[in-house]
Amino acid sequence: MKINRIMPLYFAASLVLAGCKSSEKVAAQSKANSEAPAKKSKFKPYSKVITKDAVSDEGLFDVHQVDDKYYYEIPHDMLQKEMLWVSRISQIPANLGGGYLNAGSKTNQQVVSWERFQDKILLKVKSYDEVALDTTAAINNSVKVNNYEPTLYAFEIEAFDKDSTASVIEVTKFLSGDVKAIGLPSFLRSQYKVRNLDNSRSFVNSVKSFPENVEVKQDLTYNAANPPSNSSVGSISLQMNQSMILLPEEPMQPRLYDPRVGFFTVNQIDYSSDALKADEKTYIRRWRLEPKDPEAYARGELVEPVKPIVYYLDPGTPESLQKYIKQGIEDWQKPFETAGFKNAIIAKDAPTQEEDPEFSPEDIRYSVVRYVASTTRNAVGPSVSDPRSGEIIESDIIWYHNHLRSYRNRYLLETGAANPNARTLDTNPEEIGEMMRQVIAHEVGHALGFPHNMAASYAYDVEDYRDGDFTQENGIAASLMDYARYNYIAQPGDENIRFVRQMGPYDHYAVNWGYRVIPDADSPQEEIATLNKWIEDKADDPKYKFGRQSSRFDPQSQTEAIGDNSVEASTYGMKNLKIVAKNLPEWTSDKTEDYDDLSELYGELLGVWSRYAGHVVTNVGGVNENLKKPSQDGSVYSNVDKSYQKESMKWIEENVFDTPEWLIDQKIVRNISPDGYFDRIRSLQVRHLNSLLSFDRIGRLINAETVEDDYYSAIDMFKDTRQALFGSRNLDIYKRNLQRAYVERMEYLMTEESRRAGYDVSQSDVRALVRGELESLQSTLRSRGNAARSTVDRYHYRDLASRVDMILNPRG
């Protein structure tokens, strides 16, 4: 019992001693820890990176310049956010891209996001080509792992801001280095034999941040063996602009594409669809227009959009042209009114340096009509869009300085016979301005989402083009987006004719279809019934037909054509062109006292002749394409009427294969070239002969046999062509050239294995038809070779007979 009483006291004392020893140990360890060096953080203090000498700019990311280094301060709530990165050429060396690149040309566009991985910030490139639109579906994970996003660049985190809500990274090396995705495109590197980026001559010019975007300018110099200009320096220097803009958190509601209305598109493969396949979704590209007053809009009132489309004029635009460019932009206000919006598109002057010192045409916040000092004759209307929805974010209209010369020349050549105002090299400035206005409006149409509609010029009867009242009201096509430039049908003596294109009813229809907000439709699928009804309500009216530019087999959808009958239209066109050719010296060289303009315009006159001929050639083996859904009556494809094809063949014989002697005007050809003009005519005639005798055209003629009871056959076309070329014994140098070209083409058809014909040529009727035609021709050549009075003709026939014999009986 004593022991029991003593034991608790013993344990208590032990615990006290142990507690004392522990306290001493902790104190000793604490002293040792305080004396040991602390573990060094790999991140620097913010003030050591972004020093008091930093030049900073607040915005989407705060950006800093410290001496010659650049830093991004990326808020952590901006990580994983999707942004559109657009690379453009800001300043360009002469001749880069052969005249079709310019200051402002886009070189790349990609969706990116900034993501943290351990101690790095990664710049990832995202794709919306393959998606699971239902992100909750299990297959969404499969889409991700089978479409792993590439890392464009990895940055070390240098520091965190004071409250650790943002990471600081240095971007100097990234922005001044050779990162191909944001630098000179690969095709230009190959073309100009670029070896590498010269780091000693490459640097960051500026970095600016705005609330929704960051803009960077870089000066880059590449060592190149074959530079486009200044070859002595062996390098290419250009300035690039990089735009990065935050995409909307909630994408615009897409609108599903219907091929019966023309729109540029974006495509996605949706793996979460209920369809028993990967479902391709195609959305139209369009600007986000939302009514300020949805209730008034729903009542049918005109309402301004929350955010209108604004185009600024390039500060370098000539003063004399500025009003026409503004008119061309704002001509689209009327079609947008058809869609329920007023003041939807606005033209503005670019702000002055004093008004906005940070304004830049390359800034992705601004859409600009850029005026390019270039000898290129062209204009384009590209745009930048959100691949998630098709929303157009920004666009630049490009006008090349020399393009006005193209329009002056064609105005003279195509309308000069019937239009006294066109018979001059000094076209009235108001008329030039009107032409420019319509071209700008056409390019703005592209930037609004509209491709070319080549069927719009087929909507009007040929004779309507000679009616002054009709042309003043309707122009020369049902859409400005057709390649119908001038009224070449109107004849001398026709009065009050409009010769230049203008906006048409299809443009109003297409804007309404693509841009009108459909109340209570909360998804693309819920819009389909309304959109389909709008199309079918107009389906029988040719003014609202869309014709694809790619339909080269369709006489209804031809580039540069006007009128619903190309035989009649081209006949009128040729009549006018003969008058112009006769008067061309008087309108040019007689006024200028030199032959430069005469030579230029004669070359373009030959091109006009060739276009008119090509429009008729398309009828032969032509197939009409009328896009429709199964619920609509009729077929999508139908062969051109047999009698119309035969009429076209007769026209080709008389206007193309028979020597067009009026094109060989001695007052012209003897003053512009010492030789070679006989070959220019040959090359044009042969172009149409080869087009006529092409595998794809022959294939369509053969195919007609399978679907038509009464059809123009391939053998009909072969016989008519041979008769047109060899039916007469009267030869001249042009007909001899053409006959030789015919034999060479037949050899091509006999021996060539075409991969683009769309059918197996060797097992089709083609070889048999060609052989039969050559055998028929051979006997003709032999008899004429003996009977020809001219030595040249005799040699010619004997030569052709020998060539045909070698084709039919090749010697190994």
Domain ranges of the chain: 1-36, 46-246, 588-812
- Helices 766-787 and 733-751 meet at what angle, rounded to 10? 150
Tokens 């020893």: give the residue.
Answer: 21
Question: In 3D, which of 59, 353, 55 has the Cα closest to residue 204?
Answer: 55
Write the CA distances from 619 to 574, 601, 610, 647, integer angstroms.
17, 28, 15, 9
Residue 132 is predicted with a pLDDT of 59
Write the CA distances from 86 to 71, 214, 379, integer angstroms.
20, 11, 21
pLDDT surpassing 90 at residue 306: yes
Is the separation of the CB atoms in 180 and 211 below 8 Å? no
d(CA 476, CA 447): 22
d(CA 240, CA 242): 7
Encoded tokens for 1: 């019992």
pLDDT in tens, 415-438: 999 999 999 999 999 999 999 999
d(CA 332, CA 564): 26
Q: How confident is the model at residue 14 (pLDDT cuts 50, 70, 90)?
A: very low
pLDDT in tens, 214-263: 999 999 999 999 999 888 899 999 999 999 999 999 999 999 999 999 99
151-160 and 120-126 beta bridge pairing: antiparallel
Encoded tokens for 575: 């009549």
pLDDT surpassing 90 at residue 733: yes
- Helices 429-447 and 322-330 meet at what angle, rounded to 10? 40
pLDDT in tens, 516-548: 999 999 999 999 999 999 999 999 999 999 999
pLDDT surpassing 70 at residue 276: no
Query: Residue 556 is which amino acid?
Result: Q
